[in-house]
A and B are shown apart, each in its own frame.
Chain A
């Protein structure tokens, strides 16, 4: 089955700096790659997603890049703010490309210091 590796497990940055989280996946059939933000006591919230026919996608301070050949994708957050502090998860769609069966990485705890 699909396997998703996520690095780093923890990331500490100063307010205003950029943060980058990287993930690799194993199943070349995967074609959907969402990123979720999870705050303490809450469920994961979708922040951005990308499909395999697109190499990069931006939404204000957040961007995701995908390299299908190398099977890795990354989340970039610019001008970080304290409210960006949370656990971030990458995920990849399971075999068959269904959005329902996502395989998640183990998460990155991002801390933005004021």
Chain B
């Protein structure tokens, strides 16, 4: 049973560019959340998707957007990249709002 899978594992982009990160949730999970983890910090909540809609959002600018597909997979898009967007981006899935979050291994984004 595959867990949460994310692609790519590593990515290098230039300031001002746009990036798309992808996530497939654990089998049986229909809710996906995205977190940003800066070096040496705990993960920070970006947003959550359920039934193809953004349900909750953390304190992140509109440059961060997402999408959930009918098969429950999800994408995170970041426009106009800044150096400060360099971080590990984590996807987490869960069965319902009372179930624990299961994290993937993340995508390491470096903005130069």
Chain B CB within 8 A of A99 CB: yes
Judging by beta carbons under 8 Å apart, are A102 and B101 in contact? yes
Judging by beta carbons under 8 Å apart, are B103 and A100 in contact? no
A34 CA / B94 CA spacing, docked (Å): 14
- B36-85 at interface with A (beta carbon < 8 Å): 40-45, 48, 55-56, 58-59
A44 nearest CB neighbor, chain B only: B103
Q: Which of A34, A42, A43, A102 contacts B45 (CB 8 A)?
A: A102
Which residues of A pack against B, CB within 8 Å?
1, 4, 6, 34, 36, 41-46, 49, 89, 91, 94, 98-107
Residues on A with C-beta less than 8 A from B48 are 98, 100-101
Residues on B with C-beta less than 8 A from A34 are 100-101
A9 nearest CB neighbor, chain B only: B40
A34 CA / B98 CA spacing, docked (Å): 12
Judging by beta carbons under 8 Å apart, are B45 and A46 in contact? no
In this complex, the member of A6, A42, A46, A101 whose beta carbon has the largest number of chain B beta carbons within 10 angstroms is A101
A98 nearest CB neighbor, chain B only: B97
A41 nearest CB neighbor, chain B only: B105
Judging by beta carbons under 8 Å apart, are B104 and A43 in contact? yes
A99 CA / B45 CA spacing, docked (Å): 11
Judging by beta carbons under 8 Å apart, are B90 and A100 in contact? no
* Sample of 17 more A-B contacts, CB < 8 Å, known A43-B105, A46-B101, A99-B100: A1-B59, A43-B104, A43-B106, A46-B100, A46-B102, A89-B42, A99-B99, A100-B31, A100-B45, A101-B33, A101-B48, A102-B43, A102-B45, A102-B101, A104-B43, A104-B44, A106-B42
